[in-house]
Amino acid sequence: MLKLRGCALARPAAYDRTMTSSFYAIIPAGGAGTRLWPLSRATRPKFLLDLDGSGRSLLQRTWDRLIEVTDPSRIFVVTGQDHADAVRAQLPELGDDRVLAEPAPRDSMPAIGWAASVIARLDPDAIIGSFAADQIIDDSPAFAEAVRQARIAAEADYVCTIGVSPSGPSTAFGYIESGDNLGLAPAPEARAVVRFAEKPDATTAAAFLATGRHSWNAGMFVSKASVLIGHLRRLHPDLAASLESWADEPERLDATWARLPAIAIDHAIAEPVAAEGGIATVPATFAWNDIGDFGALADLSSGANVESVVLDGSAFISSTTGRPVTVIGLEDAIVVDTGDALLVTTRAHAQRVKQATEAWREKGRADLL
């Protein structure tokens, strides 16, 4: 439950001096990450894990990236009540009043909308940006530049998404189709968004890449809090009313949250507002990895974090037990060794890990998940 206390906001730092409004970052820290099971568990989801051996969890790396573009006092995390303590433990600089703990998952729109309404109360002129807690972006200057241009578009009342340049015709991501340049001088790369497309099939993905106008939708949105809330009031008035009521009566949250629709910001706002010409996009020039499955993790990580012998083939090995692993005669094998569960698969089947978790649930072994 959120307790609003006076937020002692720091003086705007260098990154804010050229902007009219202050920038607030929202980190939606949700998602089970079941495709990374058994590393990722219900009690220890993907965003809390140090998946690449960097020494920092994905959540902490998101924080590290965001304190380059705003003051730590303007960063909010929305997470499940079960994970609020772990989030606080991993981010000691994050004040209790900036951890918004959801009673139950309702997808990204209620989470972001709630944070937006809380921030709008603190600062009616706020510009907000939402950045998922479970992605890896290594190039802080390029990230900061994308955020800077997105803030310019947001000042012009757009909801601006940061589109990731596709490295190939992936079928694992939604796509953003951009149109005309918006002609915003300080944001020379900002373009109107024509439409959003859901995860395509392989043929469609290849066609998207051929246009040169499509980027991956990484779920990064920047807008004025007031603009976002305005869209919500217009398109989802019941949801907007619920979110705004909590600022006055936080004790009502627990009772009303359960009635909220589970809806993603893409469907709730991005798609309809794009049709109205209200969405902008700026390109991300940084490398980006959402670590959507063990194949993506294998791309990112140099490999075995335990002693191993691999004969006649190749393997990505991830271990939390430290036991030596031997793999013979498999190509692109994936071996994930944890204290209470062992997974063996191949890169080609990495997306099916989610189905395996469902099979364990059906067997009555939800304790493993």
Q: Rounded to an integer, what distance in angstroms lies between the CA atom of residue 47 and that of residue 60?
A: 8
Specify the pairing of strand 333-337 against strand 342-346.
antiparallel
309-348: contacts with its own copies (CB under 8 A) = 309, 311-312, 315, 323-330, 333, 335, 337, 339-346, 348
Residue located via tokens 């006092």: 73
Q: Does 366 bind its own copies (CB under 8 A)?
A: no
Q: Rounded to 5 degrees, what are φ and ψ at 86?
A: -65, -35
Q: Does residue 4 contact residue 97 with C-beta atoms inside 8 Å?
A: yes
- Under the binding rule (CB under 8 A), the answer on residue 43 touching its own copies is no
State the Cα–Cα distance between residues 55 and 149, nearest whole angstrom: 31
What span, in angstroms and rounded, lies between the C-alpha atoms of 74 and 7?
9
Residue (220 or 335) nearer to its own copies, CB: 335
Residues 256-295 vs its own copies: string with x where CB under 8 A? ----------------------------------------
Strands 214-224 and 315-319: unpaired
Q: Which of these segments, 116-124, 130-138, 158-166, 353-361, binds its own copies (CB under 8 A)?
A: 353-361
H or E segment and range at residue 150? helix 140-155
Q: At its nearest, how many Å lie between its own copies and the CB of residue 333?
A: 7
Residue 364 CB, shortest distance to its own copies, in Å, is 10
Residue 359 binds to its own copies (criterion: CB under 8 A): yes
The kind and range of the H/E element at 194 are: strand 191-197
| Cβ proximity to its own copies, 167 vs 321, nearer residue | 321
Q: Are strands 127-130 and 99-102 parallel, antiparallel or unpaired?
A: unpaired
Closer to its own copies by CB, 37 or 246: give it: 37
Structure tokens of 84?
Answer: 């609020």
Is 176 or 327 the residue whose CB approaches its own copies more closely? Answer: 327
Q: Which stretch binds its own copies (CB under 8 A): 27-35, 115-123, 189-197, 361-369?
A: 361-369
The least distance separating its own copies from the CB of residue 356, rounded to whole angstroms, comes to: 5
Task: Give the integer Cα–Cα distance in Å for 224 and 229.
Answer: 9
- Other beta carbons within 10 Å of 352: 13
Query: Which residue, 87 or 353, has its beta carbon nearer to its own copies?
Result: 353
Residues in the chain: 369
CB of 296 to its own copies, least distance (A): 16
Which residue carries 């705007």 as its tokens? 12
According to CB under 8 A, which one of 5, 199, 259, 352 is a site residue for its own copies? Answer: 352
CB of 81 to its own copies, least distance (A): 28
- Specify the stretch interacting with its own copies by CB under 8 A; choose among 24-32, 125-133, 167-175, 350-358: 350-358
Per DSSP, the three-state class of 50 is coil
The site for its own copies (CB under 8 A) is made up of 38, 307, 309, 311-312, 315, 323-330, 333, 335, 337, 339-346, 348-349, 352-353, 355-356, 359-360, 363, 365, 368
